Structure 1
Amino acid sequence: MSEDALWPRAASLLEQAGAGHCDLGLFGVLASETSLSATGANATPAEIRVALARYSTYSSTQDKDLRELSFADYGDSETPDSPDGEIMTMDLAKKVSDNSRLSIALGGDNSITYAVMRGVFGDDLPSAGLITFDAHHDLRDGVSNGSPVRRLVEAGLPGTSIVQIGINDFSNSPQYASRAKELGIHVISRATLRNRTADSVMDETLSKLQDKKLHVDIDMDVCDRSFVPACPAAAPGGISADELRQFAFLVGKAKQVRSVDITEIDALADSADGRTIRLGALTILEIAGGFAARS
């Protein structure tokens, strides 16, 4: 890539984590082995970091340069796909959360949501809240990328403190939909989103969870498959890349949000133009842009 001193690349925002406190702390979780479909999602955090170089640090909409924020890269949880690996992920998530105002975890498959949220909130999990952007409920039995929400509920997170945005038709079963209802999970379906603005959806969500500190799970398969060909479970008819970027900005802007994860991109299965990885990188930047807009 050519270099221009007057066009700073977003990759320059990431620095090795030091002893000081930062605005945004980033770390990777290389989970893939318990995925319900074969995936190379463990390769994704490194690719997203590289893709940040394709974008600048400047939001023209906000007239804001993200270099005004402090970032730190805490590296990766490299072997997270085991009970011991989950403990190491929890420890890393806690470290990042303790040293940043907002932490962002890069998956890896969606199984990471369990360990990341447990690490960030610890004993405060029962008083926390969870927002998922996902086509799926993730309430399956067992341990996989289809079970993190169920596991969090079993660990003490109340179902009534969960909002699921983007649940799509023909991506779930009646049994798991019933489980969501029984747990008191608030669902805003993909069909509902067609007639709503991102702002109104987030206003509803944050109002419902207004007394909670929040973790947000952004499973990229909430998007239409044409935008995220590297997401194994993405279906035609999900939300657009632009809608996802709007939601990511609003997530970053919400003061209640303490941590975010971005999951389910298989870097080894992306299109030739790298569109899924690029959208993952832009999701980070939109979150950061929203954070910069916090009042």
Structure 2
Amino acid sequence: MGTAALPNDPLWPRAGDWPPLDALGAGERADLALLGVPAFSTSLSPTGAHATPAAIRAALRRYNPTLMADRERRGDARSLDDLVFADAGDVGEPDGPEGEARVRAAVAAASARAGTVVALGGDNSLTSPVALGAWGERLATAGLITLDAHYDLRDGVSNGSPVRRLLEAGLDGRRIVQIGIADFVNSREYADRARDAGITVVHRDELHRRPMGDVFAEALEIAGAGGGPIHVDLDVDVCDRAVAPGCPASVPGGISAYELRQAARAAGADQRVESVDLAEVDATADAPDGRTVRLAALCVLEVAAGIALR
């Protein structure tokens, strides 16, 4: 995953290495700002997810900021360099009550200077403070979409509880959509909690019959029904374990890497989506080829692609 051996080609610019958000001029706004949230200490399973934000930033340099698919529609290739990118750095010690307060403040500050904030986790506990920081006083109208194999409705404070914690904070369950919920990794009790809260659940099996694009478009309308901002949680363990071995809870039979990338691009394309998080990737447990971290980096670029294609 190192970058020292990457070749230098002036005709093949690299993504990443974006300037600090604080370096923007007065009144200038970024289209997309990265924020590292290396949460890990409350994870239900041992994880090195705190190493992941730096790994994703390094992996971005493996890619070029050019949309080739757009070539067929426009007659040319389009570069993401038309967008303004920035990096807000990492939140130090983001776990625990004081750490989560720092996360909320950092997200709020980044949101004030960027159209979309992409938070790089870290385990899934980051979803609650990131969403609350992005929404601010608009919780009553906000919506949530998760791409996740799990309901995340557990008791307590952990990477298994962010959706329950957002419900308890006041988020209307009727504006939550959970895509990719899997068999054999959830319980009847948590399924009942989701139903009782009014959450729309799209099970993994349903994605065999319905294209991700259609499912996500419907999710946007449900989550956006209150007229407020939408947060999208991209928990990479929703993917098949073959493409996401660096996610401790990924299972064989999850969604494809392409489906996750489709969802990330669709999120970026909708102006109501003001914040996105990438969660549950443990860079220290990835395959030798770094496939999970690279998928997360590509999701960052897919969000940017969605913004560029609005």
Q: Secondary structure, in 3 states, of the residue corresponding to 2:210?
A: coil
Of 89, 96, 102, which aligns to 1:75?
89
| Unpaired stretches in structure 1, ≥5 consecutive residues | none
Q: Distance in 1 between matches of 2:306 and 2:253?
A: 26
Runs of 4+ aligned structure 1 residues displaced above 4 Å come to none
Report what 1:145 is aligned to: 159
Report what 2:193 is aligned to: 179
Tell me the amino acid that sits aligned with residue 189 of structure 1: H
Aligned residues: 293
Q: Secondary structure, in 3 states, of the residue corresponding to 2:61?
A: helix
TM-score when normalising by structure 1:
0.98
Report what 2:74 is aligned to: none
Of 5, 9, 28, which aligns to 2:10?
5
Structure 1 stretch displaced more, 42-51 or 242-251 = 242-251
Name the Cα RMSD after superposition: 0.9
Report what 1:43 is aligned to: 51
Counting only pairs closer than 5 Å after superposition, residues 1-295 of structure 1 correspond to structure 2 as 1-12=6-17, 14-17=18-21, 18-19=23-24, 20-62=28-70, 63-210=77-224, 211-294=227-310
Tell me the amino acid that sits aligned with residue 110 of structure 1: N
1:156-195 deviation per Cα after TM superposition (whole angstroms, max 9, x unaligned)? 1011110000001111100000000000000011100011
Q: Distance in 1 between matches of 2:68 and 2:58?
A: 22
Q: Secondary structure, in 3 states, of the residue corresponding to 1:165?
A: strand
Once the two structures are TM-superposed, the CA of residue 10 in structure 1 deviates from its matched residue by 0.5
Q: Distance in 2 between matches of 1:129 and 1:122?
A: 13
TM-score when normalising by structure 2:
0.93
1:49-107 deviation per Cα after TM superposition (whole angstroms, max 9, x unaligned)? 00011110111012220100000100001201111000000000001111100110000
Q: Secondary structure, in 3 states, of the residue corresponding to 2:8?
A: coil
| Unpaired stretches in structure 2, ≥5 consecutive residues | 1-5, 71-76
Q: Distance in 1 between matches of 2:232 and 2:83?
A: 21
Structure 1 stretch displaced more, 88-97 or 210-219 = 210-219
Contact 2:241 2:251 in 1 (8 A): yes
1:124-161 deviation per Cα after TM superposition (whole angstroms, max 9, x unaligned)? 11210000000000000000000000000100101111
Q: Distance in 1 between matches of 2:64 and 2:129?
A: 31
